[in-house]
Chains A and B, each alone.
Chain A
Amino acid sequence: MARVLVVEDDANQRKLYEMELRRDGYEVDTAKNGREAIEKVKAGGYDVVVMDLKMPEMTGLDAITEIASIDKDLPIIINTAYGGWQDDFKSWAACAYVLKSSDLTELRRRIREAVTSRSEGSEG
């Protein structure tokens, strides 16, 4: 079972992603901010990270850079309500950039792709 880490400062949204992704059959873990996310990634075992960008304490972009340095192969999907950072080179360490929507179809597709490519990569 693939493990997903959702990094999101909004409690209600964390609940939403947790509920929906579990329903999809993922093992879902959450973090409230970048720092917490890094701690969890260090502990290891995730197949994909879903990362909000605008968070207190440590922004998503900084967290992405940090995570990439810990596990460069761990796919990170940026999931944000804010389109402004798409061109920030730090965001290029992520494998996808999803604009937050109440329709989670796009997010789901990206997670599926990431998980698939990761499992293929580890097999190959």
Chain B
Amino acid sequence: MEEPRKRILLIDDDAVMHGLVRAFLTRVGYEFAGATDGRQGLELARSYRPDLILLDYMMPEMDGIGVYDRLRTDPELSALRDVPVIMLTARNDDAGLRSNMLQRGVYAYLNKPFGLHELRNVIENAFIVSEINRRNLELQEEIRRARDFLRSVVDAAPVGIFVTDAAGKVVLSNRFLADLFGFPSAEELAGLDLIRESLPGAPRLTAIEAVLERGEPLASEQVSVHAPDGRRLLLNVRAVPQRDSAGRLQGSVGILEDVTSAEKRAVEMTMLTQIAHAMQGTLDLEELLHLILTCVTAGEALGFSRAMILMLSEDETELRGTMGVGPSSPEEAATIWQSLSREKMTLPEFLEKYGRRRPDPGDRFNNFVKTLHHPLSDERCVLARALREQRAFVVSERSRAEGMARCDWLSEKLASREFVCVPLVARGKGIGVVVADNLYTGHPLEAELVELLSLLSNQAGLAIERARAYAHLARQKEELETALGRLRQAQDRLLEAERLATIGQMAAQVAHEIRNPLVTIGGFARSMLEVPRDPEETRVILGIIADEARRLENILNNALDFARLSRPKRQWVDLNEILQLTVFLVQDELHKRQIRLEKHMDLHLPKLFLDPQQMRQVFLNLFYNALDSMPEGGQLTVSTCSVDERQVLVEISDTGQGISADILQNMFNPFFTTKPDGTGLGLPIAQQIVHAHGGRIVVDSELGRGTTFRIFLPIQGEADAKPTGTGSVAESAAG
């Protein structure tokens, strides 16, 4: 699209000039308007809005300079203020006037008379200059805006920002930095030597020194400074070199951060971690409570004067003073602080030394705390509220006066104007409260300290819950152990009863078997003593007696008791398993007598077809023999192995006193015993059972060295396992 034609206004009293200029300018593409005196010209300019004004210097009434000044200064003509003006002068006007015109901002002047092409050139040049001026102004505005923006950003930054020259003198800084060091504005810092003079209350900033003098690409340091308001601040300084485009060092740029609170938080976190760690170290509830309260009062930790825990009673109706830690008088407090400050311990050391113990029985403050109790139903009491609302409360004179947080009974008992109360929470449920005050130091209970106490109490609540759960578990474990003990005893008794029942049954059987012939023998003998008989009758009676005596012998020979053993109830069994089970039955006894157990089980042993209960009886008998031979302890070795495809071997060895040769000869005879309370039937029965299973049992013993029983049992199929001759003993008739 074509640019709109530019408008040119001519103000001149010469009518000929008007005609010429109008004709020429319209021909070369301009719009034209004309005025013949200054006043009319200004009037027209306001409505016509020319892009350029040609102004005659010499005019009646108002000359060119007058018109020009109005154009530039009249507020009503402000829209025309930047419109270029070309002054038309007479050739004889002096040079001073011309330069004066240019200084006033006239774009150019033309000497009359001038050629029309000259006019055109000057007009076009004026438009170019005007355009350049306009752009210049825009640029200046842009630059100003950018500078303001930068300034506001730098000032608004929440860190101190500085730029120094190569000597370390401040070239630029911001409000944050000024505020930090108590300067009224950033400009006041200009020229300050950050390396040598440094900032007020701060040491010299070696980071800048490192960058400027040693050429380090990045340097940082932490410095501790006293702020003008007396606070101690921890600042983090970071500086980098500033170079020009040629790489020459111009100075340094850096920031300065206030890390005081971050550092404090880090220290607190470390402390809480150390406390949490210490709390994990104990599962004893009393010890734990003492540790918690020690943390609350330790100078290295929270540093309260006194602290106490009130736990919720089991029926959840009242809070009861459980433990307190703290001095009971200002003198005691002073003594404790003095001795502690001499020791100079870290928190973990301190907790290790003072935390993990229970309070002395004579501890006055602890004893005082234990007398405290208050019903939970007192809804105004801040302790109950802390527990219910699960948040901390500070009770102060102000809070009491305003009725915000009150706990009059406790305030009175503590004789403390101000104290804090935080809940102990475990799994979302309040279980107690921690109360602490600064009675002896008088330090205010600042929000930060209260928050710290709340954090500590959160951990404490969990630790208490854990200790309680542990105590509960310990109780359960004890109960279980007692139950297990009782069960073991019952099992032992049962086992003993089974043994005695077997023996008793056999003994009764033996008694019966023997009593019958004895009755006959004795009865006839008495009868003969009482009444003399004829020889024939005597012969008959003696025959009966001899008969019965033979019968007695038979009874013994047939080993009446184990002849009563029932026929084996066979099934396919794992011999190792039976041995394991039997070993289990004597395990306690082994332990009691300090006998080591050695097992060598052949895991590839084939299954055997035998009566598991009877085999258990065999092994049990042999184990008891072994145990009895080792009253001073020793070693019991149980092993199994396959001898060949036809039989397996069980070996039971002890390191006991051994068996002498004459006893070895008789040990399998019924009723033969060397024990005061023995029945003499254990080994005969064992042998009988092994025989009934088609096996054999042999014994090997050396006095003072020990005894080994070897039991060979056949590997056989079900078909082979039909009762053999040995089994028929069980069928002997009873009388």
Contacts and interface: CB of A to CB of B under 8 A. Distances in A.
A19 B527 CA distance: 9
A20 B520 contact: no
Interface in A1-37: 9-10, 12-13, 15-16, 19-20, 23
A102 B519 contact: yes
Contact of A12 (B512, B526, B531, B547): B547
B735 A9 contact: yes
B515 interface: yes
B527 A20 contact: yes
Contacts of B519: 13, 16, 81, 100-102
B527 A12 contact: no
B525 interface: yes
Interface residues of A, number: 19
A23 B531 contact: yes
A69 to B, nearest CB: 27
A9 B508 CA distance: 19
B520 A16 contact: yes
Interface string B515-550: 110111111111100010000000000001001100
Given A15-B544, A54-B512, A81-B511, A102 B735 contact: no
Contact of A10 (B511, B520, B524, B525): B520
A83 B519 CA distance: 15
A87 interface: no
Contact of B522 (A9, A82, A101): A101
Contacts of A54: 512, 734-735
A13 B517 CA distance: 8
Interface in A69-124: 81-84, 100-104
A15 B523 CA distance: 10
Contacts of A15: 544
Nearest to B504: A84
A110 to B, nearest CB: 15
A54 to B, nearest CB: 7
Contact of B508 (A84, A102, A103, A104): A84
A109 B515 CA distance: 20
B735 A10 contact: yes
A23 B544 CA distance: 19
A6 B450 CA distance: 104
Contacts of A100: 515-516, 519
Nearest to B547: A12
Interface of B is mostly: helix
Given A10-B520, A16-B524, A102-B525, A82 B547 contact: no
B512 A102 contact: no
B516 A81 contact: yes
Centre residue among A9, A16, A23 by max chain B CB count within 10 A: A16
A20 B531 CA distance: 10
Contacts of B525: 102
A101 B521 CA distance: 10
Contact of A16 (B515, B523, B735): B523
B526 A102 contact: yes
A56 to B, nearest CB: 8
Contacts of A102: 518-523, 525-526
Nearest to B530: A23
B512 A81 contact: yes
Nearest to A14: B520
A91 B408 CA distance: 85
Contacts of B515: 81-82, 100
Contacts of B522: 101-103
A78 to B, nearest CB: 14
A47 B486 CA distance: 57
A11 to B, nearest CB: 9
Contact of A13 (B520, B526, B531): B520
A106 B209 CA distance: 128
Residue among A101, A102, A103 with the highest chain B CB neighbour number at 10 A: A102
A15 B735 CA distance: 16
A16 B527 contact: yes
Interface in B463-522: 508, 511-512, 515-516, 518-522
A10 to B, nearest CB: 6
Contacts of A82: 508, 511-512, 515
A103 B527 CA distance: 9
A75 B163 CA distance: 133
Contacts of B526: 102-104
Contacts of B520: 10, 12-13, 16, 102
Nearest to A100: B519
B572 to A, nearest CB: 36
A106 to B, nearest CB: 12
A53 to B, nearest CB: 10
A102 B548 CA distance: 13
Nearest to B515: A81
A23 B518 CA distance: 21
Contacts of B523: 13, 16, 20, 102, 104
A4 B329 CA distance: 105
A20 B530 CA distance: 11
Contacts of A23: 527, 531
A19 B537 CA distance: 11
- Name the 10 nearest CB pairs between A and B, nearest first: A102-B522, A81-B515, A82-B512, A16-B523, A100-B519, A12-B520, A102-B523, A81-B512, A12-B544, A81-B516
Given A23-B531, A54-B512, A102-B526, 9 more contacts: A12-B520, A12-B548, A13-B516, A13-B520, A16-B527, A16-B544, A81-B512, A101-B522, A102-B522
20 contacts: A10-B520, A12-B547, A13-B519, A13-B520, A13-B523, A15-B544, A16-B520, A16-B524, A20-B527, A81-B512, A83-B508, A83-B511, A100-B515, A100-B516, A102-B518, A102-B521, A102-B525, A102-B526, A103-B522, A104-B526
